[in-house]
Amino acid sequence: MTEVQTKSTTRESSIEEMVAESDTGARHPVGMAGTLLILVPLAWSLFQIYVSSTLPFWLTTTLGVNLTFNSDETRAIHLAFAMFLAATAFPLLSKSPRDRIPWYDWVLALVGVAVCLYLPTFKSEISLRPGLWTTTDLVVSAVGITLLLISVYRSLGLPLVVVASVFMMYVFFGHYSWLPEVIQWKGASLSKALGHYWMQTEVFSVSHWVSPHP
């Protein structure tokens, strides 16, 4: 094999490896963790097929089993799957282990699931105080947004995090005179922004709804 062919083969292998990492994550743990990284995406896919089908309504009308999910619940569960996989399948740093999932990634994965499921779990209480966010609401919102940005960084890279952060900062600095007058606005407090982003439909928006409903 010539030197040119060797370089070409190496380049192709690198490209294939890069594509594989972006599709399935750069981490390939063994044992139970590896099995989990197969079962969780499978469960996520089955959940999306289920909520997109007529099966929930058939179960309700035929068997009397109510396993329907409204749009808010579907979006929260969908994001919970995504954040769990982002924390477990994609290493946080270039030096992070590839053959196992470190303890801190397990913590981030479980906390990510918890903050996503906070909304459907406490939906009744939250609906009774619209716009009146408690300290717990704001803490959950702050943690959720932070972990979401970390998940984006893990799976898609820093540039998208920077773009998202710029738009988020606009919420707080929109009233400054150094901005063009046409895009100035009165700005928002931290608590108002956190509640708006996480407790309402900013993160869980229409574009998010499209993903679990092909």
Residue at 114 is within a domain: yes
Domain count, the chain: 1
Q: At 102, which amino acid appears?
A: P
Residue at 13 is within a domain: no
Contact indicator for 80, 203 with CB cutoff of 8 Å? no
Q: Of 45-59, 99-113, 179-193, which gets the smallest average pLDDT?
A: 179-193
Q: Which of 108, 127, 120 is nearest to 78 (CA)?
A: 120
Residue at 145 is within a domain: yes
What's the chain's average pLDDT?
A: 83
Backbone angles phi, psi at 139, to 5 degrees: -65, -45
Residue at 34 is within a domain: yes
- Work out the burial of residue 196: count CB atoms within 10 Å of its CB; fewer than 13 is exposed, 13-18 middle, 19 or more buried: middle
Looking at residue 116, what is its pLDDT?
Answer: 95
**Can you give the residue range of the structural domain that contains 135?**
30-199
Residue at 8 is within a domain: no
Residue at 9 is within a domain: no
pLDDT exceeds 70 at position 4: no
Residue at 61 is within a domain: yes
Percent of the chain with pLDDT over 70: 84
- Work out the burial of residue 133: count CB atoms within 10 Å of its CB; fewer than 13 is exposed, 13-18 middle, 19 or more buried: buried
Residue at 205 is within a domain: no
Q: How confident is the model at residue 137 (pLDDT cuts 50, 70, 90)?
A: very high
